[in-house]
Structure 1
């Protein structure tokens, strides 16, 4: 992945208010831009970001509907922002939607409104790819297996291919085969540079696909394990993105026992069903989590005291991501500063 120049310096709070819609964010936060930004900014700025736990409010319109608030703020000279993501979840209607508001943390001045749905898809996939830089096995040719054909799936394909250009085969599986086939056709049509050099296929058998995957990326809301750990081949990297509540679970305990497990942030140990359940069943303890995303980024940067990512070609690695407002504010920073300085 080509190196990119660092983002411009933070602007004056006197800049005009802007709205960054989905097409604009896609142009500003492409994987080849966002992944290096997170890689360079997370170690130096994450400790300056205050990010309280997300707050969820049930709504009277439906027992399953909810309003979530995800705030974060920093007064660091390189990150003088306050951000709030507002998420609505209406499973019976439009599903999940979000908006992100950015303010200057020293003056309180409103700076920008961003399409929070696009921001979430772009930063979530970038985090998965960033972790895979440290955890996936380098290979001249690689197969990416994606479970799920929802909104996040094509973003995961694009981000992982950006981080690992050696991926030349992508297998897509979904409970509804026609959804997986529709995504295959979209990707074959050329979504992303170099798509013609990659074989996009629908996986008919989930187990067969998992067994050959070099990177297995899961983006589902499953509450029953999909990935059987016994099927992961030596050297495989398992990327778990979908679950974000204790009731959700995308892999079985065997996958965690066979793999060396990392989490994006410590909050994953409270929210991710795979980890929460494994702790309760005595399969593993919190002390068995090998490190966080910041540890992995430090490893990629060659920091002397960093936790080592992948240790051998045969090692199985697991990365569990639930997402936090820390990554939201860093992605919003890059989008806003690039936009107003362009």
Structure 2
């Protein structure tokens, strides 16, 4: 058996160039050579913290070439243990022989590919002159989303809000040497009406992005709310925006940001403009004009994981 590579979070953190990863994702979504079953999604109780955790199994394969499966748990109460909510492993296979090529820690792989997918969508949906951004949420994704968006747009000022202001301050401090300025803020309302891009990555069950505060020309990037009873944007936002999703396969079923408006009649499936497959293959177009409010909902897709795993595997092999 070939030696199985062990690729840890530290390698992934130190060897990510978002412009490269975004391009790899764009090529994967445009080629559509990878077979991706609907991911397994299992909630299980954790009475000790009075909250459910979620087990996700996300397989994908490019026949006779590569395959992989991500095994992830999402535990919303992990902050009380000083741990990220997302934990997991990625197993990377030779699809022809079935041998394991590598085992990767999934935490950094997940946040990097998620941020890169959001930035890929932004490259089609946000205004090219977008200079300001509001980041809602202070979890592991926030820094990555900020950096990824800044890699595709000329971001100058970033405002960050979280339920814990000290976390927002810490992120601003961590990003102090970037080419953009970062400012922690105490309320969402004080900046949401001013910025060009709003990115939201939270575990909120109630909307934080309210349509009443939006202005024409904004782009909304919604990454959290990964279950049907969770949402980050209200119905008023849905009514005002042009809706795009990462994939129809998962986007129509998994997040309350889409599921709830579909159920209550605020949104019709035919109103959803396109997914990343259609945008990247030029089957559908993105932003139509400078005044349009665009809305991108991401729930994650195994194609993104397999693409990212291949990207890091090749970097590790060539290191």
**1:96 Cα deviation after fit:** 2.4
* Contact persistence 1:229–1:253 (CA under 8 A): yes
* Contact persistence 1:52–1:72 (CA under 8 A): no
TM-score by length of 2: 0.92
CA distance in 2, matches of 1:120, 1:183: 19
- 1:102: which partner in 2? 92
| Counterpart selection for 1:170 from 138, 146, 158 | 158
- 1:135: which partner in 2? 125
Structure 1 256/60 Cα, relative in aligned 2: closer, same or farther at 3 Å?
A: closer
CA distance in 1, matches of 2:117, 2:133: 16
Which stretches of structure 1, 4 residues or more, deviate above 6 A after TM superposition?
none
CA distance in 2, matches of 1:207, 1:117: 31
Alignment of 1:49-64 (within 5 A): 49-56=35-42, 58=44, 64=52
CA distance in 2, matches of 1:171, 1:105: 44
Alignment of 1:1-342 (within 5 A): 16-44=3-31, 46-56=32-42, 58=44, 64-75=52-63, 80-90=65-75, 91-92=77-78, 93=81, 94=83, 95-139=85-129, 142-164=131-153, 166-188=154-176, 190=177, 195=178, 197-266=179-248, 267-299=250-282, 306-342=283-319
Say which SS state the counterpart of residue 275 (structure 1) adopts.
Answer: helix
Alignment size in residue pairs: 311
Compute the RMSD of aligned alpha carbons.
1.8
Please say which of residues 243-252 and 62-71 is displaced more in the overlay.
Answer: 62-71
* Contact persistence 1:51–1:326 (CA under 8 A): no
- 1:7: which partner in 2? none
Please say which of residues 94-103 and 154-163 is displaced more in the overlay.
Answer: 94-103
CA distance in 1, matches of 2:241, 2:53: 35
CA distance in 1, matches of 2:293, 2:127: 9
Structure 1 110/69 Cα, relative in aligned 2: closer, same or farther at 3 Å?
A: same
TM-score by length of 1: 0.86
Structure 2 unpaired stretches of 5+: none
* Contact persistence 1:51–1:73 (CA under 8 A): no
* Contact persistence 1:81–1:103 (CA under 8 A): yes
* Contact persistence 1:67–1:88 (CA under 8 A): yes
Say which SS state the counterpart of residue 323 (structure 1) adopts.
Answer: coil
**1:246 Cα deviation after fit:** 0.8
CA distance in 2, matches of 1:154, 1:170: 11
Structure 1 unpaired stretches of 5+: 1-13, 300-305
